[in-house]
Amino acid sequence: MPTISIEQKLLRQLLSRYGIEHDIEKMAHELPLLGTDIDTCDEKTLDIEIFPDRPDLLSGETLAKAIRPFLYGAKSEPELDVKTGPVKMTVDSELEHIRPVILGAIVRSVETGKSAEEKDEFIKALMDHQEKLHFALGRGRRRASIGVHDLSKISPPFHVKAMPSSTSFSPLASAEEMTLDQILTSHPKGIDYAHLLKDMNAYPIIFDSNNQVLSFPPIINGNQTTVSHSTRDFFIDVTGWDRRACESSLMLIALQLAERGGRIESVEVTGFDGSVEHLPQSTPLEHQVTERLLDGLLGRSLNDDEISAAINRMGGRYLGRNKASETTNSAVTKMSDIIEGDTVLRFAMPRWRFDILHPVDLVEDVAIGHGYEDLGTDVPKAPLTSIPRSDNHIRRRLRESLQGLGLMQIQSLTLSN
């Protein structure tokens, strides 16, 4: 499981901004239910393990946002506070077959710290979050790759073009220019990720209005846009092949910066197909779960107040219930198909909750938010006395004989028959 290190001082600052006092004992007791576990703790730092199904908790800032309603009863905020910005980005049609998903966002006036040490910690945390998202959502930058730039050093509007391998620029941490071919064959990052652009005749490059290279995704950023101690305004680009992974990555980096006082602005992106959209989107996603599925899996019924309180703890919002005739099947997957007479429960969940793939995931969130200890008890409705399988004896003798011949037995966990 990935582990993040959070300065106790930073966590106190992030919580005190909302009038919440940092309570390490409360966190240690209840955080495992949220999908995290405190690994080590000292006076300065918390090392927290994040379960793989919660990539939205991979930074101290996004974790702080999640624990406010979960531990301290704060009102959830499934929306992202995004202002319409003036910056535009255009994607050439050739990118359709090179790297089709291109997204962007701007975050201004970020509080990066007062001392040089605090600024260094901020930059380290930002880069660490970026790399963890590359692993968790980007699948090694294949599905999604992230670039973070100092907005003060570049000039909008931006243009994403397909360029030949002879194109040159100065990559991150290098004052000398290199061609794209040289980067892919001799630069450490190029060597690591060249396989993502294998057999391509042209490569994606993001330029600003002065024809300065911002990024060569998914390989490396340009040196001129490096984030430094003086950086307070950021441009974020996310490119890839998986729209959902890219959008979640974009929102989580923006959310991390917003938690430090930043203001998120949308970027108008003209895609390779000519479509125009403003990103990131601020509205949450609506999900539907049948009451039949919720009650069936939990083993008891919850009233509206209980459901609302439970989903608020998990960062979402309960929108109420409708009869089946007032809804459509489009948002409900097979395991939660609507039948005549069903009651459908509606939820608004943050777009960055990449782990919500199915109505059962919402049922799990309600169960965690409500508390497993308060779901009641029951007894089996049928006798469950077990008897040995008729072939058990011969199977045991076969296993022991094969082990005696020097073979190694591996028995995986069995979840079903």
Q: What is the pLDDT of residues 157-214, one digit of tens each?
A: 999 999 999 999 999 988 899 999 999 999 999 999 999 999 999 999 999 999 999 9
Residue with tokens 């939820």, as numbered in its chain: 347
Cα angle vertex 338, ends 332, 342, to 5°?
125
pLDDT, tens digit, 9 for 90 and up, residues 249-304: 999 999 999 999 999 999 999 999 999 999 999 999 999 999 999 998 998 899 99
Q: Which amino acid is at 384?
A: L
Segment holding 315, helix H or strand E: none
Whole-number pLDDT of residue 61:
96
46 vs 34: CA distance, rounded Å: 16
pLDDT digits (tens, 9 = 90+) for 203-262: 999 999 999 999 999 999 999 999 999 999 999 999 999 999 999 999 999 999 999 999
Q: Is the pLDDT of residue 415 over 70?
A: no
Reference 101, options 306, 234, 246; nearest CA is 246
Instruction: Work out the angle between the directed axes of helices 359-370 and 291-298 (0-180°, nearest 10).
Output: 50
The mean pLDDT of 350-363, rounded to a whole number, is: 93
pLDDT of 416 over the 80 cut: no
37, 336 contact by CB (below 8 A): no
Q: Which residue has the tokens 């992974």?
A: 245
pLDDT at 326: 53
pLDDT tens digits along 34-63? 888 888 888 888 899 998 889 999 999 999
Task: State the chain's mean pLDDT as an integer.
Answer: 91
Residues above pLDDT 70, as percent of the chain: 95
Rounded to whole angstroms, how far apart are CA atoms 365 and 359?
A: 10
Whether the pLDDT of residue 333 is over 50: the answer is: no
Query: Rounded to an integer, what distance in angstroms lies between the CA atom of residue 279 and that of residue 268?
Result: 7
SS3 404: helix
What's the pLDDT score for residue 32?
Answer: 86
Whether pLDDT at 119 is above 90 = yes
Query: In sequence order, which ranges of 17-170 are alpha helices (DSSP H)?
Result: 24-34, 60-72, 116-136
Helices (H), 241-346: 243-258, 291-298, 304-313
Q: Write down how long the chain is.
A: 417
Cβ contact 78:283 at 8 Å: no
pLDDT of the residue at 290: 92
Listing DSSP states for 34-62 in one string gives HTEEEEEE-SSEEEEEE-TT-GGGSSHHH
Ordered alpha helix ranges (H), 149-205: 180-186, 188-193
Q: Are 233 and 186 in contact (CB under 8 A)?
A: no
CB count within 10 Å of CB 250 equals 25
Position 325 pLDDT exceeds 70: no
21 versus 340: the higher-pLDDT residue is 21
Pick from 252, 243, 240, 361: which is nearest to 297 by CA?
A: 361
Q: How far apart are CA 190 and CA 354, in angstroms?
A: 28
Tokens of 411: 């028995």
**Which residue bears the tokens 């037995």?**
409
Q: pTM for the whole thing?
A: 0.88
The single residue listed with the structure tokens 């997204």 is 103
**Per-residue confidence (pLDDT) for residue 52, from 0 to 100:** 84
Q: Which pLDDT band, with edges at 50, 70 and 90, does 68 fall under?
A: very high
Strands 178-179 and 168-169 come out as antiparallel
CA distance 23 to 63: 14
- DSSP secondary structure code for residue 413 in this structure: P
Our CA dihedral for 49, 55, 60, 62, rounded to 10 degrees, sits at: -140
Per-residue pLDDT at 337 exceeds 70: no
Q: Work out the percent of the chain whose per-residue pLDDT is above 90.
A: 73
What residues pair up with 348 in beta bridges, in sequence order? 286, 317
CA-atom Rg of the chain in angstroms: 25
Question: Other C-beta atoms within 10 Å of 277: how many?
Answer: 13
Residue 221 forms beta bridges with which residues? 215
Beta-sheet strands, E only, within 271-411? 276-279, 285-290, 317-323, 343-349
On the CB side of 188, CA atoms within 13 Å amount to 3
Residue where the block lists tokens 């919440």: 20
For residue 172, give Cα distances in angstroms to 48, 127, 144, 183. 30, 13, 19, 11
Residue 383, preceding bond cis, omega within 30 degrees?
no
> Tokens at residue 258, please?
């917003």
Contact 99/143 with Cβ under 8 angstroms?
no
Q: What is the mean pLDDT of residues 126-134?
A: 96
